[in-house]
């Protein structure tokens, strides 16, 4: 079976661990969000690709869900000695090595898709990891914080401002002129099922869908999504601030309806959201209710299995 997954960072990576356990023989392609990518200290940092790569490759900081296990922070401290910023984005020494290797390969002329493949040779994540595009796309957030109305990089809003400043708009800058990376459209077109893990609907899945051609290709397949919203709140993080920015209420039903019957065929919502299963906004989408907390590998594999079972019943 061929499964293609559109992936953000932490939510996606955890789900993918469960999916690998639930479907050990499947050929899994992961299309990773690169809208969170940022250049820091002259290095290209790809947080979502790395979170998937480290998690599936056994190198993740399990408590945080991002960054490397066993990190040290000598480089950060040395940079601070020079007053070199920014100081609000944490990069450990081991993580720095990834960004140095990536930046060196990019400077050598390799596209991001080729670079990602090379980095994955070390980590052997057991899935094929493709960036959504080789073209640079960065999520920018329109804010007004007293210094005037301006766009800031997503990471500045998310990490430095903790998404506390309301976002008037969230835009995938560069997406309109971007092309899907090599293999992306084929992976969607050739998939038996496309899955949306419980990733941020706006800045993870939404950004991937903004790359020209991807939404149409996905819509033509059998698609099942897992809600990242349980009981009216994100399980972790600040996805509610992103949903508010695009005028979507923070509820499992509203997110399912936001994707819509034209895009997804099946939608998993948590037991806590059972009452919303019959919401007319979800008409045309097959809804299943089950526990959606990814507490451990077994619980996560159950979620992945339910998504695959739902998809199988829909094709």
The site for Ca ion (CB under 5 A) is made up of 8-9, 36, 48
Q: In the bound complex, what is the minimum distance in angstroms from residue 74's beta carbon to ligand GDP?
A: 25
Interacting positions 293-312 with ligand GDP (CB under 6 A): 293-294
- Say whether residue 204 binds ligand GDP (CB under 6 A): yes
DSSP letter assigned to residue 225? E
Please tell me the distance from the alpha carbon of residue 166 to that of residue 157, in angstroms, as a whole number.
9
Q: In the bound complex, what is the minimum distance in angstroms from residue 192's beta carbon to Ca ion?
A: 27
Q: In the bound complex, what is the minimum distance in angstroms from residue 235's beta carbon to ligand GDP?
A: 4
Single residue of 48, 50, 95, 273 touching ligand GDP by CB under 6 A = 48
The residue count of the chain comes to: 315
State both tokens at 40: 């820091």
Please tell me the distance from the alpha carbon of residue 103 to that of residue 96, in angstroms, as a whole number.
10
**Pairing outcome for strands 138-144 and 149-153:** antiparallel
- Say whether residue 67 binds ligand GDP (CB under 6 A): no
Q: Are 137 and 179 in contact (CB under 8 A)?
A: no
Q: Which does 4 bind (CB under 5 to 8 A by kind): Ca ion, ligand GDP, none?
A: none
SS3 262: coil
Please tell me the distance from the alpha carbon of residue 185 to that of residue 174, in angstroms, as a whole number.
19
Q: Residue 298, CB half-sphere, CA atoms under 13 Å: how many?
A: 0
Interacting positions 221-280 with ligand GDP (CB under 6 A): 226-228, 230, 234-237, 239
Q: Which does 19 bind (CB under 5 to 8 A by kind): ligand GDP, Ca ion, none?
A: none
Single residue of 200, 207, 222, 251 touching ligand GDP by CB under 6 A = 200
Q: In the bound complex, what is the minimum distance in angstroms from residue 272's beta carbon to Ca ion?
A: 24
- Residue number with CB closer to ligand GDP (79 or 303): 303
DSSP letter assigned to residue 249? -
- Say whether residue 32 binds ligand GDP (CB under 6 A): no
The contacts of residue 288 (CB under 8 Å, 6+ apart) are 266, 267, 268, 269, 306, 310
From the list 133, 132, 314, 296, the residue with the least C-alpha distance to 225 is 314
Stretch that binds ligand GDP, among 169-177, 193-201, 206-214, 307-315 (CB under 6 A): 193-201
Please tell me the distance from the alpha carbon of residue 128 to that of residue 105, in angstroms, as a whole number.
19
- Residue number with CB closer to ligand GDP (17 or 76): 17
Single residue of 5, 10, 185, 210 touching ligand GDP by CB under 6 A = 10
- Say whether residue 292 binds ligand GDP (CB under 6 A): yes
Please tell me the distance from the alpha carbon of residue 54 to that of residue 74, in angstroms, as a whole number.
21
Residues forming the site for ligand GDP (CB under 6 A) = 8-12, 48, 51, 198-200, 204, 226-228, 230, 234-237, 239, 292-294
């Amino acid at each position: 079976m061929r499964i293609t997954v559109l992936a953000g960072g932490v939510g996606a990576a955890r789900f993918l661990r469960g999916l690998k356990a639930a479907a050990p023989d499947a050929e899994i392609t992961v299309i990773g969000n690169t809208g969170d990518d940022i250049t820091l200290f002259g290095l290209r940092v790809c947080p979502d690709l790395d979170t998937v790569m480290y998690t599936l490759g056994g190198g993740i900081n399990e408590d945080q869900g991002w960054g490397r296990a066993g990190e040290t922070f000598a480089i950060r401290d040395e940079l601070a000695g020079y007053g070199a910023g920014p100081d609000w984005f944490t990069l450990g020494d081991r993580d720095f090595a990834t960004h140095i290797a990536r930046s060196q390969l990019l400077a050598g002329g390799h596209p991001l898709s080729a670079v990602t493949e090379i980095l994955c040779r070390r980590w052997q994540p057991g899935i094929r990891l493709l960036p959504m595009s080789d073209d640079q796309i960065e999520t920018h957030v329109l804010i007004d914080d007293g210094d005037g109305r301006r766009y800031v990089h997503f990471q500045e809003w998310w990490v430095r401002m903790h998404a506390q400043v309301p976002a008037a708009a969230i835009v995938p800058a560069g997406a309109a002129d971007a092309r899907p990376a090599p293999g992306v459209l084929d992976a969607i077109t050739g998939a038996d099922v496309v899955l949306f893990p419980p990733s941020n609907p706006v800045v993870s899945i939404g950004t991937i869908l903004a790359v020209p051609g991807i939404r149409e290709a996905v819509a033509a397949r059998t698609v099942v999504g897992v809600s990242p919203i349980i009981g009216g709140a994100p399980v972790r993080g600040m996805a509610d601030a992103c949903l508010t920015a695009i005028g979507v209420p923070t509820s499992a039903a509203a997110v399912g309806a936001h994707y819509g019957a034209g895009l997804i065929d099946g939608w998993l919502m948590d037991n806590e959201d059972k009452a919303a299963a019959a919401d007319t906004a979800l008409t045309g989408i097959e809804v299943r209710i089950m526990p959606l907390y990814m507490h451990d590998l077994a619980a996560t594999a159950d979620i992945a299995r339910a998504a695959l079972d739902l998809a199988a019943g829909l094709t």
